[in-house]
Structure 1
Amino acid sequence: MNLDEKIEELREILRRDRGDLEVVDFKDGILKIRLLGMCTKCPFSQITLSEVIKKKLKEVPEVKEIEVV
């Protein structure tokens, strides 16, 4: 699965709870993302970030590091 497909998969998961994410930048293996919608206020967003988002994005070989901006 490529990065675009993985991002869409994650967006579908987050949208179930009225959240979303966007890619801000991807350069030299560093992926910068922004959480949107309910993800910005959710007390579980850090758990979702570490246990779901980062794990799934690290499955993409080109992604070396993930930063939330």
Structure 2
Amino acid sequence: MIPFSDDELIEPVKQSLSKQLHILHKDGGDLEFLGIKSGIVYVQLTGACSSCIASNTTLKHSLEKHLKLDIHPELSIVNLRGGINEFKKL
């Protein structure tokens, strides 16, 4: 169980993600932070990353890995292709 509320996680998660954005930027991609619900970080991959076949690998093996190391091992990250509208429906 993650010992932080979703609201408490927002800033640390944003900071951790910002340290890894260079990975996306070097390939012409980016991400939009959508929010956190029940310890799951929701983002929308944009630019070249939105259609890249390796985007899930980058998401899990790079961004999620660093979230787990920086903040808590139970955090996970999910790309919502529908963006903020899809996040609001969760």
TM-score, normalised relative to structure 1 = 0.76
| Equivalent residue, structure 2, for 1:33 | 43
* Distance change >3 Å, CA 63–CA 36, structure 1 → 2: farther
Amino acid at match of 2:14: D
| Equivalent residue, structure 1, for 2:72 | 61
**Count of residues in correspondence between the two structures:** 68
In 2, are the aligned partners of 1:57 and 1:63 still within 8 Å (CA)?
A: no
In the alignment, which of 47, 51, 58 is matched to residue 61 of structure 2?
A: 51
After TM superposition, give the deviation of residue 4 of structure 1 in Å: 2.3
Where does the alignment leave 5 or more consecutive residues of structure 2 unmatched?
1-11, 81-90
Structure (1 or 2) with the greater strand fraction: 1
After TM superposition, give the deviation of residue 27 of structure 1 in Å: 3.4
After TM superposition, give the deviation of residue 21 of structure 1 in Å: 1.0
Higher relative contact order (CA 8 A, sep 6+): 1
After TM superposition, give the deviation of residue 66 of structure 1 in Å: 2.0
Q: Give the stretch that moved more between structures: 51-60 or 15-24.
A: 51-60
Deviations 1:2-48 (A, max 9, x none): 32221111222211111111110123322111111100121211221
Mapping of residues 13-28 of structure 1, within 5 Å:
13-28=23-38
Amino acid at match of 2:54: F
CA RMSD after TM alignment: 2.0
Bigger CA radius of gyration:
2
